[in-house]
A and B are shown apart, each in its own frame.
Chain A
């Protein structure tokens, strides 16, 4: 039994059989490289060792990060608006809410209030906290106010002389009631209270970026672990905590990698039954991961929750391609070549197809660069790096290593048994027989029609596919995560929702409280109050109305803005500078939303845009968008636009590559159709599972298509070789299945395993990516094995289908 070779460039009909081609050796670059590698094997190993030490050192230094800026489309004009005012919005944006809950009663309790003070002090001393702007019952900036006949009187909510005695506790109770902080600082049910801690993104002294991982760790150790217990529960929410939890999630990925590692070893051994080749492959692929991480660090990148995918992919792609090395090496050894000659032959045979396949992946991945979101671009770049690195470790290094290790006798015997007719396993025979029948036109038509029916059904189901995130809470984390339970507690017991959409109103300096500005804001709020999904609002204008009414004895007949600049600026002076910037040239309007579903967000965006178009003038310019919901709204816009473009690009690029390689639109159709069915099916599954199209799911289709096309290429490449020997399509396909079919199945399972462990990640979008990628890797394989032969039998001319007469007699 001969072992047909993996060969991709089959445009020129082979003058010689693959067998003799393998024996011949080649000149030109392949021959030269082969000579270079195998004549100086020790040097090669030394160079790789040196590189590995260097890059390994860098890889070990790689940092974990979760950068907010990289997760948003920074060059969208709405985000540019936000970035221009980022520092001004920090007070309301990057704030930690530490909720201290008394499990045994209300907050008007001596022990509780004293614990609260300790927690307050602990938070105060955590580096990164903007101490001056902290707010809690224990900070000297939370007042009660009361309107009296003489005007407004007020004082600290927790009086200076608080000593825990019953009278002072009653005083606190009274002060809270008239402080107007119920719903913001004190829970509606008075059983918990908030410590509000704004953060410095950059350390004011050193200018260093705040380390969210460290901050989150400190919060857990110094606050939660220390003070939470029987009587007191502590809930922590805020952007910084999400970032901290994401970093923690990335840290946990090491465990998932270890699991993937072990599973892959098992799978590889099952396939090869040879420890030597398994070890060689695992070694080379681990090296690829090390190099990839090292190079990425040298390029100045860190590991974020998205790019953590790349080491997994690099490893999986490396292993799946390396399976071809084992395959070829075994075959050559079975033909009686020595270890070193078999290795040389393997290198020679796999150099071109391997490089082309991997370069195809690179081209496919780089279509991700059209998405203007930092994490996706970094994911694309580091995935490209990963694949390029595989060229070195798998194509150059692996054959050299295997020239030392070789294949164990057991592995050789296993393979010899598998490819011989001695393997009489019923399942194997029946699958083979069944699959070969797909090349009969009757069956082929059935398969193609079924495929098209699945496509149609998927298209129908995918109509429900939504843009953006659909679950409540922080979409980055799981709905039942600690963080999201804390957010749920906050929204349940306090007035405002966690989904904040901020509209910025740009004004001339020192006029943000003037009537032309505030009256426009007031009208804007009246419009937004009618928009479904807007459940609350806060702004300088709204506060001003309440304050003006307050100074007039609380009469609601005064509940309006004043044209009188003295009244307006007097009112502004009495308010905390929460909703406008230092030179009073921007005020922010906070819209609290019922949820952050895409429909809600686009309604708010549309209403705001309409208002801005009609009302923007030189006094006040309404600008979108900030706040978590605002930024998500913009991200949705970008994602929606990018989705179409990206699908078009990735399919275009892949189809062109396939067309270029095989010079046949029929073959291209056969190879692309299963991919299209898979990606539409994937969308249908997303719609079914309630997963929206978002930053994390966008790359999935590109990765799925980019890697998925490899199956078709391997499969058709082998099939074409058989067809060229004059075999009928049916026989050629049967032969292809025996060799490449099994390898493809193993490849698919390897790739799926590589990402399946992500299902268990604490980071919601990683789990989503893992699930969808696993589905795509497996379905692409099924599609390739079933649909490619069927489409070919329908499209290829009769002469090719039936082969040469001699072969027909054989078959």
Chain B
């Protein structure tokens, strides 16, 4: 009785190209359309209660949360009073990251990357989906050009080269099809090493890198093994300094050289992974804990080469993970449950229920309380409630 199926395929992309060509012919009438990408976020008295998707805590103990309609709120009194920041876009913001008291970045829909230098009070747009499309297309063009040149140099036809040529052509067609809808592709996650070096990842295999604090961004998605164009849901780093990406199709990617080269890891699962938590166990061995759709949890003790799935206790999506003060892993699901290892250390079981629905992220503060974001805004849960 299973019907309804919505999945992207290559043929779908072709339809999309046709649609885009038709609609671009009609785009002359679009002058009066107010684009959320260029519309400053509206002030709302209930900004802190809107759909908020991620939060960050600064060294100054300031809390910053981002969410729908370009909403960014900050609080200097542990969430009692929230102020709304000045933001130049009205698109949904999906993630926020700070490296110190002042410098922070946020990413969101339509390929938006914002930056702040005053601890989150005012934000500038550094990058958007139009720039992303340009970059993705030019990278694809460069690659196609190089392969063409390579095949022209070789007199006799090489079958592997022909396949590569075809793939490069497809990649360019895909990039152009995606661009036809304008800045349509969301970014989901970001991570900065310091005020200069940072990464932003998102849908359809988008990965960008900056070396100048976000002024210039470079598309490096072509360096990852992702022919399916899977989404990247989260980018983070391990204690060892290794970069980690968790994404669609149960796939993870890691890089030990600050993003220059990447290795693909298969968990064997075919659904969404929403994040990965890396920590050292009692023995000092690095453990990777990937979590995602339907309450799935996978772990690897050998740097991602082999993965095992843990038994599922609950089926709600796991959206966030953190380490307690003494270093034990905790996972948080969309139903507002906090999961931790049971006594045997073999399963994640619910430790506390926070009576919240539609949770999207949990950030631990130094006093063990949690900053939760979700459908009904941002809330602080004390350490006792969160156990």
Which chain B residues border A464 with CB–CB below 8 Å?
Answer: none
- The stretch among B31-39, B144-152, B378-386 that forms the contact with chain A is B31-39
- The stretch among A444-452, A548-556, A800-808 that forms the contact with chain B is A548-556
Report yes or no: A553 in contact with B53, Cβ–Cβ below 8 A: no
Report yes or no: A151 in contact with B4, Cβ–Cβ below 8 A: yes
Report yes or no: B317 in contact with A554, Cβ–Cβ below 8 A: yes
User: B110 at the A/B interface (Cβ < 8 Å)?
Assistant: yes
- Across the interface, name the chain A residue whose C-beta is closest to B32: A617
- Known contacts: A151-B7, A530-B44, A530-B45. The answer to whether A559 contacts B68 by CB under 8 A is yes
Complex: A516 Cα to B68 Cα, angstroms? 17
- Residue-by-residue, is A261-302 near B (CB-CB < 8 Å gives 1, otherwise 0)? 000000000000000000000000000000000000000000
* CB contact between B360 and one of A151, A526, A553, A557 (< 8 Å): that residue: A557
User: B352 at the A/B interface (Cβ < 8 Å)?
Assistant: no
User: A610 at the A/B interface (Cβ < 8 Å)?
Assistant: no
Report yes or no: A155 in contact with B1, Cβ–Cβ below 8 A: yes
Report yes or no: B5 in contact with A619, Cβ–Cβ below 8 A: no
Which chain A residues border B245 with CB–CB below 8 Å?
Answer: none
Which residues of B105-119 are within 8 A (CB) of A?
109-110
Q: Would you give the shortest CB distance from A584 to chain B, in whole angstroms?
A: 15
Which residues of B1-48 are within 8 A (CB) of A?
1-7, 12, 15-16, 19-20, 23, 29-30, 32-36, 39, 42, 44-46
Which residues of A181-224 are within 8 A (CB) of B?
none
User: B208 at the A/B interface (Cβ < 8 Å)?
Assistant: no
Report yes or no: A150 in contact with B33, Cβ–Cβ below 8 A: no
User: A453 at the A/B interface (Cβ < 8 Å)?
Assistant: no
Q: Which of A148, A151, A557, A560 counts the most chain B CB atoms within 10 A?
A: A557
* CB contact between A556 and one of B2, B110, B183, B374 (< 8 Å): that residue: B374
- Residue-by-residue, is B41-72 near A (CB-CB < 8 Å gives 1, otherwise 0)? 01011100011010000000000000011000
User: A645 at the A/B interface (Cβ < 8 Å)?
Assistant: no
Report yes or no: A556 in contact with B51, Cβ–Cβ below 8 A: yes
Q: Would you give the shortest CB distance from B385 to chain A, in whole angstroms?
A: 22
Report yes or no: B94 in contact with A554, Cβ–Cβ below 8 A: no
Which residues of A636-677 are within 8 A (CB) of B?
none
Which residues of B174-213 are within 8 A (CB) of A?
181-184, 186, 188
- The stretch among B134-142, B267-275, B279-287, B364-372 that forms the contact with chain A is B267-275
* CB contact between A560 and one of B29, B92, B274 (< 8 Å): that residue: B92
Which chain A residues border B91 with CB–CB below 8 Å?
Answer: 560
User: B363 at the A/B interface (Cβ < 8 Å)?
Assistant: no
Complex: A148 Cα to B292 Cα, angstroms? 12
Main secondary structure of the interface of B (DSSP, over half): loop
Report yes or no: B46 in contact with A151, Cβ–Cβ below 8 A: no
Which residues of A557-587 are within 8 A (CB) of B?
557-560, 562-566, 570, 574
Q: Which of A551, A554, A556 counts the most chain B CB atoms within 10 A?
A: A556
Report yes or no: B6 in contact with A570, Cβ–Cβ below 8 A: yes
User: B375 at the A/B interface (Cβ < 8 Å)?
Assistant: yes
Q: Which of B5, B181, B186 counts the most chain A CB atoms within 10 A?
A: B181
Report yes or no: A574 in contact with B183, Cβ–Cβ below 8 A: no
- Residue-by-residue, is A506-531 near B (CB-CB < 8 Å gives 1, otherwise 0)? 00000000001001101100110110
User: B254 at the A/B interface (Cβ < 8 Å)?
Assistant: no
- Known contacts: A151-B4, A619-B33. The answer to whether A557 contacts B271 by CB under 8 A is no
* Interface residue range, chain A: 35 or more
User: B350 at the A/B interface (Cβ < 8 Å)?
Assistant: no
* CB contact between A619 and one of B32, B46, B69 (< 8 Å): that residue: B32
Report yes or no: A556 in contact with B360, Cβ–Cβ below 8 A: yes
Which chain B residues border A153 with CB–CB below 8 Å?
Answer: 1-4
Report yes or no: A145 in contact with B186, Cβ–Cβ below 8 A: no
- Known contacts: A526-B42, A560-B92. The answer to whether A152 contacts B360 by CB under 8 A is no
User: B293 at the A/B interface (Cβ < 8 Å)?
Assistant: yes
Complex: A617 Cα to B183 Cα, angstroms? 22
Report yes or no: A618 in contact with B272, Cβ–Cβ below 8 A: no
User: B358 at the A/B interface (Cβ < 8 Å)?
Assistant: yes
* CB contact between A564 and one of B50, B90, B181 (< 8 Å): that residue: B181
Which chain A residues border B51 with CB–CB below 8 Å?
Answer: 556, 559
Complex: A148 Cα to B270 Cα, angstroms? 10
Complex: A180 Cα to B89 Cα, angstroms? 32
- Across the interface, name the chain A residue whose C-beta is closest to B39: A523
User: B79 at the A/B interface (Cβ < 8 Å)?
Assistant: no
* CB contact between A154 and one of B3, B30, B188, B360 (< 8 Å): that residue: B3
Given contacts A154-B3, A556-B51, 17 further A-B contacts (CB under 8 A): A149-B269, A151-B4, A154-B2, A154-B4, A516-B33, A520-B34, A530-B46, A555-B233, A556-B53, A556-B334, A557-B53, A557-B92, A560-B68, A563-B181, A564-B16, A565-B19, A566-B19
The 10 closest A-B pairs by CB, nearest first: A149-B271, A617-B32, A563-B184, A153-B2, A155-B1, A516-B33, A152-B4, A151-B5, A553-B272, A560-B92
Supply 11 A–B pairs (Cβ within 8 Å), ascending by A.
Answer: A145-B4, A150-B5, A154-B2, A551-B6, A557-B94, A560-B91, A564-B181, A564-B184, A566-B15, A570-B6, A618-B32
